[in-house]
Structure 1
């Protein structure tokens, strides 16, 4: 709350102290979307094949023939599909938010979207409400949208400047996270249920949930086709965008709602893993995809690949026990992120 109050008196709405007005950016070499997207798609397909076919057993590792995959699907398929789709959703949401704010460090987590969805999920578990997955998804979306609405109210006086937007989002996230930690500290069965979900566990995902997430992601992805042009114009500034006939307020609201729905859909199924929403757009840029449409496609594929690999590793690393996929995704993604930053520095 102190940070939120301090934001109201902050007058520097464009740059942080000591920041250059026009810093030189790192621009990787442009690459063909077909080569880049195809390469990631091949890696994703290989991840699916290995995850479904190559697995440890009670005595030794063994390969499951394709003819028997329908039997292995019950144990391996839904969780793998949900992990990949959640990565796709977070990759798309992260790209939307980074493009909208003009800040490469923006993510669903930093804007409080996942925190809002998580708080609603915690309340549902605490009160023992049995509203089903559809109800949970709707409630999580409302929580994410409410968090965004509060953030919009806080950042409106600064005309949604990127620094203030992210600082306000960080304050909201920390505030909500503190509430989650208080629930966890209480112990008991409620805390144990929330612990697995918060760490990004995929082993409890059912087939119905995975297929429902698939339908939702396909529907939202089709709607993203109409926002490519507005998302390309918004970084020009509010005045330039308005002069080109773009209804800036309506477009921003639509983008925020899309990002909230994507994040909430991933959060309600496997937990708050917004780190993927931060790193996937960066991976797309490092791989030479600069335009909006290309970055969206590659970020979605990269997010799906990252969480798909994390789900497989979480299943086999400490077999027969299992690790939360979210922890492994953060470890793998964090190492690559540090390596990418070192390349940026040398460039």
Structure 2
């Protein structure tokens, strides 16, 4: 049954990819989409399809899969249903490091600032986990620690942009999360990092399953808790750092998708991870398509759309968690 559901999810992903290529400020007929993909002439709709929308769609696939997997790994690692890279400050840490590199060190290339994104994501992950992730911490406390870190870091990012007009021009769309500036060169550079993060996440499925039963049970099953935690945080850092460097900080995707997936698959990480890798791009690309349609001839950045969708979901999850604790 779960295998059939995964096939259906792949079908939904294929449909949303077609929509992402066909729908935009200028509607492109399906026949022209096919022509642009397989018989490119370099003019008209072929240029829009091949050089603008295909890279944008591929970036949405890669970033969506990274964020969905990162959210699933974080929730399993912390045993916290509210864990998510955006809420726990991981994306904000990467963004703050990238903005610092661009504004103060003059770094302008992706290959230059992606390392700062990894550093920022790693540092904030450790700090927030230390502040709110101890055994005595509640999920809400961890979320509050992440929210405080996120607010402080985005305040810093906004201050840097206001003081540096050149940085503001370069980053004003990137800092809210956007797929609009996708380029194949950037995608090819980000794929190896995300690919390594995906491999780590998948290999950790069994240890994370054991850890969700509690530390003592996991140890009795032969799980190396320290190594699993280190590798899981490395996976999250690679996934979130690379995704944020490529598209800016996008929140709530890693929160919503694991909850949806668990309703389908149950708690088994061996199924949660592949489902999250497929359904998260469906959400991200769907939000991107919505952003292009609702504000024609302009568009809403995908980070704004996911925040509008995810905010009510987050409130619902917090209220449900509090009711469960009463």
TM over 0.5: yes
| Local SS of the residue matching 2:261 | helix
Gaps of 5+ in 1: 1-31
For the pair 1:250 / 2:227, whether they are aligned, the reply is yes
Q: Tell me how far apart the structure 1 counterparts of residues 83 and 209 of structure 2 sit (CA, whole Å).
A: 17
> 1:123-134 residue pairs with structure 2 within 5 A?
123-127=100-104, 129-130=106-107, 132-134=109-111
How many residues in Structure 1 have an aligned counterpart in Structure 2? 311
Tell me which residue corresponds to 1:189.
166
Moved more, 105-114 or 73-82: 105-114
2:196·2:238 contact (CA, 8 Å) conserved in 1? no
Determine which of 36, 45, 56 is the counterpart of 2:14: 45
Q: Tell me how far apart the structure 1 counterparts of residues 14 and 105 of structure 2 sit (CA, whole Å).
A: 39
> 1:69-84 residue pairs with structure 2 within 5 A?
69=37, 70=40, 71=46, 72-84=49-61
1:82·1:213 contact (CA, 8 Å) conserved in 2? no
Tell me which residue corresponds to 1:222.
199
For the pair 1:118 / 2:92, whether they are aligned, the reply is no
The structure-2 alpha-carbon separation of the partners of 1:242 and 1:260, relative to structure 1 and needing over 3 Å to count, comes to same
Q: Tell me how far apart the structure 2 counterparts of residues 53 and 168 of structure 1 sit (CA, whole Å).
A: 41
Determine which of 247, 252, 257 is the counterpart of 1:270: 247
For the pair 1:284 / 2:264, whether they are aligned, the reply is no
Determine which of 35, 48, 65 is the counterpart of 1:67: 35
Tell me which residue corresponds to 2:118.
141
The structure-2 alpha-carbon separation of the partners of 1:305 and 1:333, relative to structure 1 and needing over 3 Å to count, comes to farther
Greater Rg over alpha carbons, structure: 1
Deviations 1:9-41 (A, max 9, x none): xxxxxxxxxxxxxxxxxxxxxxx2222222221
Report the TM-score, using the length of structure 2 for normalisation. Answer: 0.84
CA shift, 1:339, in A, is 8.6
Q: Tell me how far apart the structure 1 counterparts of residues 24 and 203 of structure 2 sit (CA, whole Å).
A: 42
Tell me which residue corresponds to 2:5.
36
Q: Superposition RMSD on alpha carbons, in Å?
A: 2.8
Tell me which residue corresponds to 2:75.
98
Q: Tell me how far apart the structure 1 counterparts of residues 51 and 189 of structure 2 sit (CA, whole Å).
A: 16
The structure-2 alpha-carbon separation of the partners of 1:107 and 1:152, relative to structure 1 and needing over 3 Å to count, comes to closer
Q: Tell me how far apart the structure 2 counterparts of residues 340 and 155 of structure 1 sit (CA, whole Å).
A: 18
Q: Tell me how far apart the structure 2 counterparts of residues 337 and 110 of structure 1 sit (CA, whole Å).
A: 10
